Amino acid sequence: MHRMLIFILYTTVVLLACSAGPPPPKSLSSEAMSEHSVSNSYYSRTDTTQLDLPDSVWKKVLPPEVYEVARHAGTERAFTGKYWDFEGRGTYYCAACGNALFRSDAKFASTCGWPSFFETVRLGSVEYRTDKAFGMSRTEVLCGRCGVHLGHVFEDGPPPTGKRFCMNSIVLDFEPDEGD
Ligand code: FE
């Protein structure tokens, strides 16, 4: 009986030791991808089909803070976004639909407090619209695939384009290059 009790205790301790411990670390990119695949079935980094979704759908599939900027042309506060002074090598995608927007090679250190790029990853990555809000005339930048608001473009950027795509970090997803 005594031996039996010791055996049960030993087995319990071994089982507990095996099941305890921290879960295996997940990479940022796989976490970001699974987050999107669970909640936003429109998100794809390979499908370039144009999306024309009603606001009610965007409200359901986007996190509230992304929805606010993407659909209500909100602006995150300067120097607060996750990418304004980020220097990783890789590609920036639309956080709403997964469309490729910018390469890190086109990113430059801007003093404005938002991630800034001098060119898009390809022609048609983004679309443009005149924005007359706040008594100004600015060029709004929208995602070329899903049409959500990304930021604005100005003509005071560095060579070779002279453009400054001033983006909101919250509507960008960064994927590091393989091996980085
Ligand atoms: Fe998009």
- pLDDT for 69: 97
Kindly give the distance from the C-alpha atom of residue 99 to the centroid of ligand 1, in angstroms, as a whole number. 5
**Is the residue at 135 inside a domain?**
yes
Ligand 1 centroid from CA 1, angstroms = 68
13 lies in a domain?
no
7 within some domain: no
**How far is ligand 1, taken at its centre, from the CA of residue 20, in Å?**
41
Position 1 in a domain: no
Query: What is the distance in A from the centroid of ligand 1 to the CA of 145?
Result: 5
Q: Which domain holds residue 91?
A: 29-176
Cα separation of 48 and 61, whole Å? 18
Cis peptide bond prior to 160, omega within 30° of 0: yes
3-state secondary structure (DSSP) of residue 58: helix
* DSSP per-residue codes, 118-175: SS-SSTTSEEEEEE-GGG--EEEEEETTT--EEEEEES---TTT--EEEE-GGGEEEE
Which of the residue ranges 6-20, 96-110, 121-135 would you say has the lowest mean pLDDT?
A: 6-20
Position 39 in a domain:
yes
Q: What is the pLDDT of residue 39?
A: 83
CATH code assigned at 145: 2.170.150.20
- CA 55 to ligand 1 centroid distance, Å: 14
In angstroms, what is the span from residue 140 Cα to ligand 1's centroid?
A: 14
CA distance 159 to 162: 5
Q: How far apart are CA 89 and CA 166, in angstroms?
A: 18
Is 2 a domain residue? no
pTM: 0.79
59-69: pLDDT as tens digits: 999 999 999 99
pLDDT at 90: 98
Task: Please compute the mean of the pLDDT values over residues 106-131 and round it to a whole number.
Answer: 95
Could you tell me if residue 129 is inside a domain?
A: yes
Domain count, the chain: 1
Residue 17 counted as domain residue: no
Active site residues: 166
Q: Kindly indicate the confidence band of residue 180, based on its pLDDT and cuts at 50, 70 and 90.
A: confident
Tell me if residue 72 falls in helix, strand or coil: helix
pLDDT in tens, 145-167: 999 999 999 999 999 999 999 99
